[in-house]
A and B are shown apart, each in its own frame.
Chain A
Amino acid sequence: MTKNKKKYKLSPYLMVAPYVLHFLVFISFPVIFSFVLMFNQWNIISPMKFVGFQNFYKLLHDAQFFRSLLNTLIFLVIHIPLQIIIALAFAVLLNQKIRFIGFFRAAYFLPVVVSGVVVTILWQQLYGYETGLLNRMLAGMGIQKVGWLTNPAIAMASIAIMATWKNVGLYIILFLAGLQTVPRYLYESADLEGANAWQKFRYITLPMINPTMFMVVILSTIGGFSLFIEPYVMTGGGPLNSTLSAVLYIYKEGFFYYHMGYASTLGFFFAGIILFVIIFQKKYVERETG
């Protein structure tokens, strides 16, 4: 009996131990350490130097960081609506009874599981100014070539299009799951009332998939905020810093120039912005859905 009691006391702790260990080493410790670093100057190899609020002062006067925030915002403004519209449209199509449905579902999901670096290199070829497939097609139609990645005004939009292509499959699946929870009888009674396809979509489908919509908005906002691989591989943040995302900027400060204290300050500040946006989105969706 005592043995059994002992077993029941220890077992739960042992079960959670791997996760707790992982959480303490790879999440809690870095977060606490980064917090300490915010008030210090540290280039990794020399001892830390306490600088008080100097890193915060630097942040407030760092035009390049605010430029990177603006770039990230531009990316989000293009990427999120584009992703939601395309994902929802394809999810509605894939929710129909059509042939080879399994094939189409798998095909649209495929880019999600392909490595980000591979996708980026592939799109780099498509976006080439002289040699890219897209410009060759445009030239074939008599349209002027576009500097997809060399024109600062549109480089971020090009990256947003690519990121949408890469991630849309995941959101199609989420929307598809949401669509399949909508009861059939709602559509049947709408049919009896003489509603057309658009009215059914607007007044039945959209309200019914609101929780999925909320999840998709949150996920793509968080995903969009963490934009890194695409500009890192494709443009290095150029041209003229037009694709320098906030995460790429923080990475450069930390791991190119070893400004660990400052990078931590930027990281916390940026995390605060993400948290604020997510809370705002949550409140907004809660208000809209009652």
Chain B
Amino acid sequence: MKKGLPILVVLITCLSLSCGSKNAHDANRIVYWASNNTDEITFARDVVTSWNNESPDKNVIFQPVPEGQSSEEVILAAVVGGTTPDIYSNMWQGDVELYARAGRLVPLDTLPGFMELLTARCDSSVIKEVTSTDGHIYQIPWKINPIMMICNDNMFKSFGWDTPPKTYSDFFKAAAEIKESGFVKGYQTKWIGYSEVIVTWWQRLFDFYPLYLAASGGGSLIKDNKVVFNNKYAVSTFQFLKTLYDNNYFPRERLSSRQDPFLSSDIAIRFTGPWEIVHADKFKSKEFEYSFSPLPVPDDQKNTAYTYGDTKNIVMFTTCKNRLASWEFIKEMISEKGDYLLLKTTNQLPRRKDLTTNPLFLNYLNNNPKMKPFAEQSKYVKGPDSCPVLKEVFDAISQEYEACVVYGKKSPRQAVNDAAKAAEIILLQ
């Protein structure tokens, strides 16, 4: 027992220490979490190293967001456990309202010079988009990955299409031609496109939502805590997608666990973001050519198509002890130099209004022509609406999407109506 006791004491001490917070907040250092993908880790390291060299008295400690099923879950766990960083740079815009209402985020508009900086960086529409329902701003629009249509140029050219389809009618025409060409011994082997046929709410961010934004010119789903998507744009989007499934232009089966159907030319388009460039360039064959186009719109829609921006923003948690120094660091991160580093290192677009006019960014885009359509599109992107129960609203839409679009159990009008009613009940709770 004499020998056992010290071992027990050591074990208990180790356990207690390991249970303690790694991010013990102190006023002399700033803890910064970034996304844990390789490129963003490189970016964050470079920014932090440069900052620490120039400001040794305001030391920033960088850490990639710890591994988990998703960064959202990790942040939630950190909030509950009180181990949040001071600054987090990969916050999904749709989550901000929830954390803001729970009093976990610093209202950044109370910091000196915040509004001046934001006005210089973003258009009024973006500022409005990131303003919370209580009138404060808890996030800095940082980066976007606009959802566009990646197109197999070889496939479209082989059918005599010089440019990918722009309207719903053109899309159906191309879809019919591709379907006809893809029958081998009675099997359909080619489709115009594919979207994951799962009912999980976030999947609608990559099919229904961007197409709804394209059709409605950037319309909202929820405004001032009220449902506003019960309109002709949502109906036409449901109708468009339903036609694709009804005619087998999109497959109902899941293709996600097999070889990439886009690179193997089984599908001609996919709704996706700029992250696809690295993947496609790495795995495509030499002859395979692809490009990016705006999303298809209803035939009578003449304006530039809006899309979902997959917006990720910077937030400061209320556990932050040194808010002014943290704000100084954030300013450095979103400076022209910081944004250029982000673009260069990660191939993700900073959300700033001079992206296509500033020579620094223009130079990069000219050298990386595949990124140019995304930069052009960046003027027409929208993030998710401010709503603390947004995921549940998307789930309600997703349930109706599956019933109407994929399995044809309801008409688009009925499905949109039912989704709106369900969303209204969710908002009331």
**Can you name the residue of chain B whose Cβ is closest to the Cβ of A3?**
B1
> Chain A interface mostly helix, strand, loop or mixed?
loop
Beyond A11-B1, A257-B395, whether A45 also contacts B197 by CB under 8 A is no
Quote the shortest CB–CB distance from B42 to chain A (angstroms).
30
Q: Please give, as numbers and ranges, the residues of chain A lying within 8 Å of B189 by CB-CB distance.
A: 130-131
Q: A124 near B101 (CB under 8 angstroms)?
A: no
Q: Please give, as numbers and ranges, the residues of chain A lying within 8 Å of B188 by CB-CB distance.
A: 130
Q: A149 near B403 (CB under 8 angstroms)?
A: no
Q: Is B372 at the interface (CB under 8 A from chain A)?
A: no
Q: Is A226 at the interface (CB under 8 A from chain B)?
A: no
**Can you name the residue of chain A whose Cβ is closest to the Cβ of B104?**
A45
Q: Is B22 at the interface (CB under 8 A from chain A)?
A: no
Q: Is B331 at the interface (CB under 8 A from chain A)?
A: no
Query: Which stretch from A175-183, A207-215, A234-242, A266-274 is at the chain B interface?
Result: A234-242
Query: Which stretch from B248-256, B347-355, B361-369 is at the chain A interface?
Result: B248-256
Q: How many A-B residue pairs have CB under 8 A?
A: 84
Q: Is B289 at the interface (CB under 8 A from chain A)?
A: no
Q: Is B244 at the interface (CB under 8 A from chain A)?
A: no
Q: Is B79 at the interface (CB under 8 A from chain A)?
A: yes
How far, in whole Å, are A138 and B425 apart by their CA atoms in the complex? Answer: 46
Pick the residue among B98, B187, B395, B409 that contacts A130 (CB under 8 A): B187
Q: A124 near B257 (CB under 8 angstroms)?
A: yes
Using an 8 Å CB-CB cutoff, how does the interface string of A135-179 with B read, 1 for contact, 0 for none?
010010000000101101000000000000000000000000000
Q: Is A10 at the interface (CB under 8 A from chain B)?
A: yes
Total interface residues on B, using CB and 8 Å? 38
How far, in whole Å, are A124 and B253 apart by their CA atoms in the complex? Answer: 9
Q: Is A125 at the interface (CB under 8 A from chain B)?
A: yes
Pick the residue among B1, B406, B407 that contacts A10 (CB under 8 A): B1
How far, in whole Å, are A240 and B189 apart by their CA atoms in the complex? Answer: 25
How far, in whole Å, are A3 and B188 apart by their CA atoms in the complex? Answer: 81
Using an 8 Å CB-CB cutoff, how does the interface string of B194-209 with A read, 1 for contact, 0 for none?
0001111100000000
**Can you name the residue of chain B whose Cβ is closest to the Cβ of A136?**
B187
Starting from the known contacts A130-B187, A240-B409, 12 additional A-B residue pairs (CB-CB under 8 Å) come to: A43-B102, A44-B80, A45-B76, A45-B99, A46-B102, A121-B257, A130-B253, A131-B189, A132-B253, A235-B198, A239-B197, A256-B201
Interface residues of A in 7-27 (CB under 8 A from B): 7, 10-11, 14
Quote the shortest CB–CB distance from A240 to chain B (angstroms).
6
Quote the shortest CB–CB distance from A72 to chain B (angstroms).
17
